[in-house]
Amino acid sequence: MAVPRKALAEAKRLEAETLLAAAPLPAGAHAGWARDARASARSRLLEMGAPHRRDEYWKYTSPESLIAKDPGEAAPRADDADPFDGIGRTTLVFVDGVFAPDMSDDPAEAGVEIQPLAEVLAADIHWARDLFGVLEAAGQDPVSRPLATLNTAVAEAGVAIHATGKAGRPVELRYIHRDPGSDVFLRTLVRLEPGAEMTLLESGAAGARFNTCMEVSVADGATFHHVRSQGREHERRAATALFARLGAESTLKSFTLTANGKLTRNEAVLEFTGDDAVAHVAGCAIGDGDFHHDDTVFVTHDAERCESRQVFKKVLRNGAVGVFQGKILVKPGAQKTDGYQISQSLLLDEKSQFNAKPELEIYADDVQCSHGSTSGSVDETSLFYLRSRGVPEAEARDILVLAFLDEAVQEIEDDALADAVRAYVADWMERRRG
């Protein structure tokens, strides 16, 4: 363990240099502000250094394979089921990180304004100027999140979504993975004007290795729903970051389903800047075998009467590993904050593992914050109860697993979407029942 601090900092800086050298400089025209944002990200990354497994922030998840030169190989799954089956939506398809217009719906029909990232970054005057790299940079304190900074420096593909009213139907970003060795960076920018509403769906593995970063600005009274499913490929790796800033009386609800994947690190960094806002982040992870899944969440309350909820459930078996690092920071003056955090794992055997690090840091005196974390196995009494009613054991176990996950699934606002996700998970369970 005795790596001197200075040597570690130097190693991290060198690694950051290597990362930047390996990634191609973004081609295409850049407006001055965009070029500045890229340059700032590069210098910030060099300063903070690459993630290292000695970092406290990476204590439970090794970042090595996320930054290695070789992205690794992941066999694409052609037969992956649609996690949003039956949901009407406007779908934009990316194949190995490249937008595929011929496979996509017409973005003009989405009810929101959608532009490719490259076009946005080339525009001298654009709303994205206040967002691109801005929320990411603001979210670097108190811990640095270098993979997101790397994304700001190098991601070329992605979309910018501007919602000015109530979108009629969801927009889906569907990430298809074909090249077994693809290393994909995507950037998503979302701006919701006051009172606007939209639902963003994401699905698929995107690549053998996927680095994605989303910045979301939710203005006063606006509502943003986000539901994603990370794809069922066994060997894929992903590092995702969601940065969101919430105005007064706004709502953000984000749900992530992860079934399979060698390594997944999902970060969410949310900040309340206006009073009476609501933010819920939730996730279900179901892993079997070579599966490492990490949810790292940081919620900052810097306004009054805001409600935050973190609900994370993981079902792990055959040596699968789950990690939860969740923090609620209540700044001075953020009175009447209502913060709730729960992370639970269901360990289906003794080989599986769950590490949880819940944290509260509170500087206001009139707040309500709670957190809880549990790890357990399937309840034998419940199992017997179901079986005594005639439900066969394997099916009864699945029912209890689905029931365990449901508190997180319930965080999906739209019932039809929640049911689609339930069906997708049930299907995953059934496949594994054999």
Partner 1 sequence: MLEIRNLHVALEEEAKPILKGVDLSVEAGKVHAIMGPNGSGKSTLSYVLAGRDGYEVTEGSVSLGGEDILELEPEERAAAGLFLAFQYPVEIPGVSNMVFLRTALNAQRKARGEPEVSAPEFLKLIREKAAELNISSEMLKRPVNTGFSGGEKKRNEILQMAVLEPRMCVLDETDSGLDVDAMKLVANGVNALRDAGRSFLVITHYQRLLDHITPDVVHIMVDGRIVETGGPDLALRVETEGYGDLVKSVA
Residues of this chain that interact with partner 1 (CB under 8 A) are: 380-382, 384-393, 395-396, 399-400, 402-407
**Residue (50 or 425) nearer to partner 1, CB:** 425
CB of 387 vs partner 1, minimal distance in Å: 4
**Residue (28 or 372) nearer to partner 1, CB:** 372
**Residue (254 or 344) nearer to partner 1, CB:** 344
CB of 289 vs partner 1, minimal distance in Å: 25
**Residue (301 or 313) nearer to partner 1, CB:** 313
**Residue (143 or 286) nearer to partner 1, CB:** 286
CA distances (Å), 258 to each of 302, 353, 374, 389, in order? 30, 16, 19, 31
CB of 380 vs partner 1, minimal distance in Å: 7
Q: How far apart are CA 147 and CA 363, in angstroms?
A: 29
CB of 301 vs partner 1, minimal distance in Å: 28
**Residue (24 or 390) nearer to partner 1, CB:** 390
CB of 309 vs partner 1, minimal distance in Å: 17
CB of 406 vs partner 1, minimal distance in Å: 4
**Residue (171 or 425) nearer to partner 1, CB:** 425
CB of 424 vs partner 1, minimal distance in Å: 16
**Residue (396 or 412) nearer to partner 1, CB:** 396
Q: How far apart are CA 203 and CA 83, in angstroms?
A: 7
CB of 324 vs partner 1, minimal distance in Å: 19
